[in-house]
A and B are shown apart, each in its own frame.
Chain A
Amino acid sequence: MAAERNYYTIDPEGKLQCMKCGVPLVKGKAKFLYLDNGFPVELPVCPVCGFVYVPEELALGKVASVERALEDK
């Protein structure tokens, strides 16, 4: 049930690696913040330094549409 409450779930599938820490990204907890609104999400995160990756298709897709919706609030 917890997963359903999240807005986005992106699995890194082992093809992404953090250059700084030299470790693969894992599915981790992150949060989008915009105009005083917050959304819990699961995104590829570096388990060491905490780098949160927002993939291009997500940024141009769901993230952009949520941005538009909030901007018109």
Chain B
Amino acid sequence: MAQIQERGSTHVYKVNKISREEIEGMVSLCVYEQPPFCNAACPLKLDTRAMLAAAAAGNFKKALQLYEKIAVFPLILSHGCEAPCEGKCRLGEIGDAVAIRAVEAAVSRFGEAARSGSIFRTKKKKTVAVLGSGLFPLFLAGELEKKAYPLTVFCEQADLNAFLRCGTEFLDEKAFQLELKRLKAKDIDFVFNCAITEDFLEEKRASFDVLCASETVTKKLFPAAKCLPDLMYCEAEKLVCGCGEGVMAAAFGAKKAALTVDRLAQNLDPRNTRGQEGAVETSLYTDLAAATALQREPVPPEGYSKELAMAEAARCLQCRCEECLKSCAFLQHYKKHPGLLAKEIYNNTQIIMGDHQLNKPMNSCSLCGQCTVVCPNGFDMAHVCHLARQNMVSTDKMPLAPHEFALMDMLFSNNEAFLARPQPGFERCRYAFFPGCQAVAIAPETVKAAYLDLCERLEGGVALILGCCGAIGDWAGRTELEEQTREFLDRELSKLGDPILIVGCPSCKKEWSSHPGVQVVGIWDLLLKLGLPEGGHGLARPAALHDSCGARGDAETQNAIRQIARQLGCELIETPYSGDRSPCCGYGGLSAYANPEVASEMTEKCLERSDAPYISYCMACRDRFARQGRESRHILELVYGTDAGAPPDISEKRWNRLSLKKELLRDLWQEETAEMKLDFQLNYTDEARKMMDARMILTDDVIDVLKAYRETGEAILDSESGLLIARKRVGNATFWVKFTQEGENSYTVHRAYSHRMQVVKREG
């Protein structure tokens, strides 16, 4: 049996760079991290989604904390803000937008205000003076106090009450008193009854580091002054000033002005390093189909009560694009959105020394392409993982262990179990039937029935090829191996007279379709043309049709299967995520080998769509569903009235392949092959058989160990359990078998295990 060489060392210090631009281009397709529409529209960048979630849960304290992050005077802002967020709320497209402002007002009333900073808070060294009154000076004073500037407000009013009245006439008395209390609690010095003149201003300029003024003051003292609205700054007058009308303009202006004060206090150009300010565009996707509560809770004149605010906040859709996460068990398992996971997987390929912690996730993706179909932007996680696998293989950093069993299975299919013969009586054939490695392993009787049927009903001869299409090598990222397989199969096809290839598996169809010059047709298409043979029948109960991930984007195949099933009398249940949106059963991309846990979650995900029996047209799907205990049939079993029965274990799969080959060679081509007989008898306990299947240990491996024992007599006797223990190094692993011996030539295997490390005796 051919072997695959294990990589020689962990000490390989090279990387093949995947283009950063290519990865960034891919990552940019994922909109998970894009802001929700309400948040993007808010110049103050309120985390509206989180605030509404807290309010909906009745946690007004947390909701107010979130609101206070952007609002120094929450009641003033929530009463006077123009609410650009509501205009962008996606609910507004199909019903009433969430009454965000009214919820904010309720949150401001019912929430527990944050305590102002400690009296021991370290103040900044640079001092600031704010001249004038109104909303802008008020908000700016609040922002600067938050930034811990020693701050003095000079105003014409006689007291704090009068100062706060300016610009806040819309507040009712209760709200006013609450905001007055809030203002009093702030660490701001006020100087009242000031006559603000140019001399007064210049005097303050001399004693403060940064000078700010209201728009009224600025216009009065410097009629020609030009305020730069992005900076809230009059450069010639060196004055931070207000401009614009309305509560939102004042609040946003104060935010920008506070940043300008920061820059000026550091003697920097206020244009520098400001980051992104104000409202932004977003490309987030929201599934509006989930929306149910379309009507707004009416706002009473006194504002929402707690209950009403909670009910209104609960209408928020919590816009988040999780289309792929909803449907993909792999992404759900790792709890990461694909943009982030793709970045991490990319970084994993670029590690020269150290742990590649993303190897397992990268090898766990089924490469099925479902995410690309369900993603509104077509994000292709399969491409990322596939590229990463190829990259790791090319630099000799890819561990062989996760894929070795599958790759060995592929070599087995194309060596010992391989068969390519023209139909008896033909030298060159018009057709060749390629059922696929899994069909031969799982349902050999069905394969035989299909081949005999095709031979009988097709003109020009039908050759048979039993082997693996090479998809396994491709999935493992072993491009070289896939290429070798492709060349090997092309040579075999050419010997048969370059026939039209009839495939029995959608993944094989995909793989073979990439061979230049090979005409490929699904057996399902031919059966529809020829008419179904006698003897087939559907299932007695309605059944769910599971589309193979190999047939994604292949509507012709998906339809052909449905037609066949209906002709057989099946009553089909269409499930969510069918057709192109179908998930993988867990076999694709070798997930089942690299990460059985995730693969099992994938199978569960497929099966949770219906309680009915499943009909599939990929033998791996049939097998995995049956292993999970579901009644599961391949469409060809129904067509030919065969039943592959209980799913075979890994050793039986190999045995099935060899047996079918032997049987067909004998019955069709009159060729006898040597008996595969052992010169000793080997029994297995049920426990041993299950253990071997779970631990990927073949009966062939156990036989090798027993043969070695019979030759050398090397074994250990464990007196406690009474079991003999022998071992043999086969390929890249050492296999250990615990057994009992009954007479000279009979053994019963009780346990088996393996490890990849080599163990040797050490001297000294």
In the bound assembly, the distance between CA atoms of A56 and B738 in angstroms comes to 10
Q: How far is the CB of A28 from chain B (nearest CB, A)?
A: 7
Q: Determine whether A4 belongs to the interface, using a CB cutoff of 8 Å to chain B.
A: no
A residues 19-57 touching B (CB-CB < 8 Å): 19-20, 25, 28-37, 40-41, 43-45, 49-54, 56
Could you tell me the dominant secondary structure of chain A's interface residues? mixed
Residue from the set B399, B753, B757, B761 with the largest chain A CB neighbour count within 10 Å: B757
User: Is A32 touching B759 in the complex (CB atoms < 8 A)?
Assistant: yes
Contacts of B736 in A (CB 8 A): 54, 56, 59
In the bound assembly, the distance between CA atoms of A44 and B622 in angstroms comes to 46
Q: Determine whether B7 belongs to the interface, using a CB cutoff of 8 Å to chain A.
A: yes
Contacts of B401 in A (CB 8 A): 67-68, 71
User: Is B355 touching A33 in the complex (CB atoms < 8 A)?
Assistant: no
Contacts of B724 in A (CB 8 A): 19
User: Is B751 touching A49 in the complex (CB atoms < 8 A)?
Assistant: no
B residues 667-713 touching A (CB-CB < 8 Å): 712-713
Q: How large is the interface on B (under 10, 10 to 19, 20 to 34, 35 or more residues)?
A: 35 or more
User: Is B356 touching A17 in the complex (CB atoms < 8 A)?
Assistant: no
Binary flags per residue of B7-32, CB closer than 8 Å to A gives 1, else 0: 11111000000000000000000000
User: Is A16 touching B9 in the complex (CB atoms < 8 A)?
Assistant: no
Contacts of B483 in A (CB 8 A): none
Q: Determine whether B195 belongs to the interface, using a CB cutoff of 8 Å to chain A.
A: no
Contacts of B718 in A (CB 8 A): 15-16
User: Is A30 touching B759 in the complex (CB atoms < 8 A)?
Assistant: yes
In the bound assembly, the distance between CA atoms of A51 and B712 in angstroms comes to 12
For B715, the closest partner residue in chain A by CB is A19
Q: Determine whether B734 belongs to the interface, using a CB cutoff of 8 Å to chain A.
A: yes
Contacts of B764 in A (CB 8 A): 29
Q: Determine whether B359 belongs to the interface, using a CB cutoff of 8 Å to chain A.
A: yes
Contacts of B734 in A (CB 8 A): 54
For A46, the closest partner residue in chain B by CB is B716
Contacts of A35 in B (CB 8 A): 6-10
Q: How large is the interface on A (under 10, 10 to 19, 20 to 34, 35 or more residues)?
A: 35 or more
Q: How far is the CB of A45 from chain B (nearest CB, A)?
A: 6
Q: How far is the CB of B751 from chain A (nearest CB, A)?
A: 7
Q: How far is the CB of A33 from chain B (nearest CB, A)?
A: 5
Given contacts A35-B8, A40-B762, contact A72 B355 (CB under 8 A): yes
Q: Determine whether A5 belongs to the interface, using a CB cutoff of 8 Å to chain B.
A: no
In the bound assembly, the distance between CA atoms of A41 and B131 in angstroms comes to 79
Given contacts A72-B357, A73-B355, contact A33 B714 (CB under 8 A): no
Contacts of B34 in A (CB 8 A): none
Q: Which of the residues B10, B717, B760 comes within 8 Å of A16, measured between beta carbons?
A: B717
User: Is B755 touching A64 in the complex (CB atoms < 8 A)?
Assistant: yes
In the bound assembly, the distance between CA atoms of A63 and B734 in angstroms comes to 12
Q: Which of the residues A15, A18, A33, A66 comes within 8 Å of B758, measured between beta carbons?
A: A33
User: Is B762 touching A29 in the complex (CB atoms < 8 A)?
Assistant: yes
Given contacts A15-B718, A17-B719, A72-B357, contact A52 B756 (CB under 8 A): no
User: Is A16 touching B8 in the complex (CB atoms < 8 A)?
Assistant: no
In the bound assembly, the distance between CA atoms of A41 and B719 in angstroms comes to 24
Q: How far is the CB of B62 from chain A (nearest CB, A)?
A: 40
In the bound assembly, the distance between CA atoms of A73 and B352 in angstroms comes to 9
Residue from the set B724, B734, B761 with the largest chain A CB neighbour count within 10 Å: B761
Contacts of B763 in A (CB 8 A): 29
Q: How far is the CB of A55 from chain B (nearest CB, A)?
A: 9
Given contacts A18-B716, A72-B355, contact A67 B756 (CB under 8 A): yes
Contacts of B360 in A (CB 8 A): 72
In the bound assembly, the distance between CA atoms of A66 and B716 in angstroms comes to 25
User: Is B720 touching A70 in the complex (CB atoms < 8 A)?
Assistant: no
Q: Determine whether A3 belongs to the interface, using a CB cutoff of 8 Å to chain B.
A: no
Q: Determine whether B388 belongs to the interface, using a CB cutoff of 8 Å to chain A.
A: no
Given contacts A17-B719, A30-B762, contact A49 B757 (CB under 8 A): no
Q: Determine whether A1 belongs to the interface, using a CB cutoff of 8 Å to chain B.
A: no
Q: Which of the residues A16, A18, A71 comes within 8 Å of B359, measured between beta carbons?
A: A71
User: Is B8 touching A20 in the complex (CB atoms < 8 A)?
Assistant: no
In the bound assembly, the distance between CA atoms of A49 and B713 in angstroms comes to 11
Binary flags per residue of B354-398, CB closer than 8 Å to A gives 1, else 0: 111101100000000000000000000000000000000000000
Q: Which of the residues A19, A30, A71 comes within 8 Å of B760, measured between beta carbons?
A: A30
User: Is B762 touching A51 in the complex (CB atoms < 8 A)?
Assistant: no
Q: Determine whether B725 belongs to the interface, using a CB cutoff of 8 Å to chain A.
A: yes
Contacts of A43 in B (CB 8 A): 759
User: Is A56 touching B9 in the complex (CB atoms < 8 A)?
Assistant: no
For B354, the closest partner residue in chain A by CB is A73
Q: How far is the CB of B359 from chain A (nearest CB, A)?
A: 5
For B720, the closest partner residue in chain A by CB is A15
User: Is A16 touching B716 in the complex (CB atoms < 8 A)?
Assistant: yes
User: Is A20 touching B759 in the complex (CB atoms < 8 A)?
Assistant: no
For A32, the closest partner residue in chain B by CB is B757
In the bound assembly, the distance between CA atoms of A17 and B725 in angstroms comes to 10
Q: Determine whether B754 belongs to the interface, using a CB cutoff of 8 Å to chain A.
A: yes
Q: How far is the CB of A25 from chain B (nearest CB, A)?
A: 7
Given contacts A51-B714, A54-B736, contact A67 B757 (CB under 8 A): yes
For A58, the closest partner residue in chain B by CB is B755
Contacts of B9 in A (CB 8 A): 35-36
Given contacts A31-B760, A51-B714, contact A63 B755 (CB under 8 A): yes
Contacts of B359 in A (CB 8 A): 71-72
Given contacts A31-B760, A59-B755, 20 further A-B contacts (CB under 8 A): A16-B716, A19-B715, A19-B716, A20-B712, A20-B713, A30-B761, A30-B762, A35-B7, A35-B9, A36-B8, A41-B759, A44-B716, A49-B714, A51-B714, A52-B761, A54-B736, A54-B755, A59-B754, A66-B757, A72-B356
Residues of B within 8 A of A (CB): 6-11, 354-357, 359-360, 399, 401, 712-720, 724-725, 727, 734, 736, 738, 751, 753-764
**What are some 14 contacts across the A-B interface (CB < 8 A)?**
A16-B716, A18-B716, A25-B716, A30-B760, A33-B760, A35-B9, A36-B11, A63-B755, A64-B755, A66-B757, A69-B355, A70-B10, A71-B399, A72-B359
Residues of A within 8 A of B (CB): 15-20, 25, 28-37, 40-41, 43-45, 49-54, 56, 59-60, 63-64, 66-73
